């Protein structure tokens, strides 16, 4: 009796699997039976369709190169305090400036031939040290050579790190050791004398502005914590109307006619009102720079690179009385 699949309708030897058509024919039972047939014979072989070439392995996936788009970096804080201050440059490691300590004004009207009154003026010499702010990261020379975008990202991250630390130092530096002597530690304390019970946070800010006016140094701006400012923007009157511009407003942040600078560098519940440009000056000794070095022996033999970013700055708070620092966390509203 002839073997199945040879010369008979329906005598088909189906095959399965992902083998090529040629492989299926060569290794089919029908072809083997045809070879062993004594007389004339015919073989019908049903071929299983070959697997389509797809983007998954073991198809064409390895040949597809993905598009690499711009990397996603971590969130960055809005840095704005430096822009409030006066700026300058220095070529030394110390900035000295005279600060007036006495103004005994005895000016008066005098009669003809009478002795004129004498006034008294005095100054003291103050110093602002130049501080170095720096940090570094290691990287392989290969990855920097092969990924130019990474070098750009690293440069940007390192520079941002300096700016973030600088803002914190400008506001809160205690002047101890290598720290700058910041605005808040030298500011004049907010005078709560006569503050009425139930005063709102906006009332407190207004009284601080008045304190600045009384010192003959009219305030030009306010620095508050970002979350505090958002809560203040949401305040409503007794009829449910927003006190400020409301959710559709487009005006710049302001209170009592002064520019408001929200900053996460300012502690929550605190504020700083002041005539900033006259109160303090920041001096750049060295602008932020990014340096790459393989000088270390281990770096050299390991093909590693040290990426260093640093700057040198000094902060001179010339008029502490021009800055009013206070706490309004317990105020109403």
Last residue of a domain, one of 63, 90, 109: 63
Specify the pLDDT at position 155: 81
Q: Does the reported pTM lie above 0.75?
A: no
Assess if residue 107 is contained within a domain.
no
Specify the pLDDT at position 246: 76
Split into its structural domains, the chain has a count of 2
Same domain, 183 and 284: yes
The series of mean pLDDT values per 10 residues for the chain, 333 residues long, is 43 49 72 72 67 58 63 62 91 92 93 94 93 92 80 84 93 95 96 87 93 92 93 86 78 86 93 94 94 84 89 94 91 77
Specify the pLDDT at position 197: 85
Same domain, 201 and 261: yes
Q: What is the CATH number of the domain that holds 259?
A: 3.30.2400.10
Assess if residue 111 is contained within a domain.
no
Residue 212 sits in which domain range? 81-98+128-327
Task: In whole angstroms, give the CA distance from residue 249 to residue 255.
Answer: 14
Specify the pLDDT at position 52: 58
Count of beta carbons in the 10 Å neighbourhood of residue 276: 24
Same domain, 153 and 248: yes
Strand-strand pairing, 221-224 and 270-274: antiparallel
Same domain, 33 and 86: no
Residues 6+ positions from 289 with CB-CB distance below 8 Å: 309, 310, 311
Specify the pLDDT at position 8: 38
């Amino acid at each position: 009796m002839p073997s199945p699949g040879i010369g008979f309708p329906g005598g088909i030897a189906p095959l399965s699997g992902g083998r090529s058509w040629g492989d299926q024919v060569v290794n089919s039972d029908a072809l083997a039976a045809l070879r062993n047939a004594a007389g004339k014979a015919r073989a019908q072989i049903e071929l299983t369709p070959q697997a389509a070439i797809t983007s998954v392995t073991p198809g064409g996936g390895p040949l597809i190169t993905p598009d690499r788009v711009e990397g996603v970096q971590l969130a960055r804080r809005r840095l704005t305090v430096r822009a409030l201050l006066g700026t300058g440059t220095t070529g030394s490691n110390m900035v000295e400036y005279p600060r007036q300590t006495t103004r005994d004004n005895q000016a008066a009207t005098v009669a003809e031939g009478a002795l004129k009154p004498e006034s008294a003026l005095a100054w003291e010499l103050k110093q602002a040290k130049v501080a170095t702010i720096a940090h570094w990261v290691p990287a392989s020379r290969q990855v920097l050579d092969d990924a130019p975008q990474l070098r750009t990202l690293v440069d940007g991250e390192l520079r941002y790190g300096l700016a973030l630390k600088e803002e914190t130092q400008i506001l809160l530096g205690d002047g101890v050791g290598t720290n700058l002597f910041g605005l808040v530690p030298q500011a004049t304390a907010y005078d709560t004398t006569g503050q009425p019970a139930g005063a709102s946070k906006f009332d407190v800010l207004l009284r601080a502005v008045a304190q600045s006016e009384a010192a003959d140094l009219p305030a030009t701006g306010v620095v508050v914590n970002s979350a505090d400012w958002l809560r203040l923007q949401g305040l409503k009157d007794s009829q449910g109307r927003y006190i400020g511009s409301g959710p559709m407003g487009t005006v710049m942040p302001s209170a009592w006619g002064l520019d408001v600078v929200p900053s996460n560098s300012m502690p929550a519940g605190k504020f700083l009102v002041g005539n900033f440009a006259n109160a303090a000056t920041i001096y750049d000794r060295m602008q932020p720079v990014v340096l790459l070095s393989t000088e270390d022996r281990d770096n050299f033999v390991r093909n590693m690179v040290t990426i260093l970013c640093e700057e040198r700055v000094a902060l001179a708070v010339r008029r502490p009385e021009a800055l009013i620092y206070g706490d309004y966390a317990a105020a109403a509203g």
